[in-house]
A = this chain, B = another copy of it.
Amino acid sequence: MPLIKNKPSVQVSFQLVKKELKLVESQILDQVKAFDPALEPYMDYICNTSGKRIRPALAILAGGATGGVNDDHLKIGVILELIHMSTLVHDDIIDGADTRRKVPTANAKWGNGMAVLLGDALFSHSLLLATEFDSIDICRKVGKASREVCQGEVIQTQRRFDLTLTKDDYFHIIEMKTGALFAAATGIAASLSEVSEDVETQLYNYGMKLGTAYQIYDDCLDLVGTEEEVGKTLRTDLEKGKLTLPLLNLIEQATPAQREKLNKRIIEQQPLDLPVLIGIAEYEGAVESALDTAANLLQEAREDLQILPASKWRSSLEEITSYLDGLLDKCRK
């Protein structure tokens, strides 16, 4: 399987919530002013490296689908996006990444130490912002999601180059590190609409499955994408011994001789470079199988939405899964 050319990064248009996402964007930039003047230039840089804003879009769509979008849905979107951004600042330190979204990372610009502290400041601000809801329940849900993300990151780092990592372990990690914030976006948005517990749970589940599928896609992209198109440093998973689903499939499907060769590299903490992987039979099959797993999760996520009355919002939540399906398909080419 060759590297994919012309592989676009995720760019869902989110047409339905375009207006709301503009407000979210401006509210994110407004946060810069909440910091001490000394921090403003840093925060301005970090907040201006525009992301895909998937989490805010999910919160807004879930709000629309559960009775109508209000300011609270925008606010939870902003908060979860800021939390996400603060984790990216720290992720880039861990991964030694110098580029994200085609611009230098905080660590590349100001060094690792400063990036640690800037991530902390942004993270603490996000959690403080959550107290503006005047609802302990919402604060608790935001806090829990944040802790999940952090714990997922710890376990992922702990288990690098760890051959005993099972697929269950992998799912546990990605549900925490990625699923939790997606699920918080849709679940908390439902909670803010004061819907029944059942609807909130189903929307939470939708977010969890979508987030998990998205992470599997991202893990496949790290193997088969190109840096020019994706706009960030790739192949870091291989270098860092991060055993993602396609790699776990590969290890599982390899012949005993191939497995030994692969294991040797992992145990010696040598980078798992692509030529070595492609040399192993079933490399394509291993990626395909991971993509299938993601597609199944997306199907389940669509089913979770059936509890909602039909609406343009529900359709848009469905379209996101279809869009991601399309991206998975491009990885197969």
A interface residues with partner B (beta carbon < 8 Å): 35-36, 38-39, 42, 87, 90, 93-94, 112-114, 116-121, 123-125, 127-128, 130-131, 133-136, 139-140, 143-144, 146-147, 149-151, 153-155, 157-158, 176
Q: What's the least CB distance linking A203 to chain B, in Å? A: 21
Given known A-B contacts A90-B116, A128-B140, A136-B136, A121 and B154 have beta carbons under 8 A apart: yes
Q: What's the least CB distance linking A113 to chain B, in Å? A: 4
Measured CB to CB, the nearest residue on chain B to A140 is B131
- Contact for A128 among B36, B121, B143, B176, CB less than 8 A: B143
CA distance A195 to B147 in the complex (A): 33
- Contact for A151 among B36, B113, B114, CB less than 8 A: B36
CA distance A151 to B131 in the complex (A): 19
- Contact for A117 among B36, B121, B144, B157, CB less than 8 A: B157
Excluding A124-B150, A131-B140, 14 further A-B contacts by CB distance (< 8 Å) are: A35-B151, A38-B154, A39-B151, A39-B154, A119-B120, A120-B120, A120-B153, A121-B147, A123-B123, A125-B147, A127-B143, A128-B143, A128-B144, A128-B147
Q: What's the least CB distance linking A255 to chain B, in Å? A: 31
B147 touches A124 (CB 8 A): yes
Q: What's the least CB distance linking A227 to chain B, in Å? A: 22
Residues of B within 8 A of A136 (CB): 131, 133-136, 139
Measured CB to CB, the nearest residue on chain B to A135 is B136
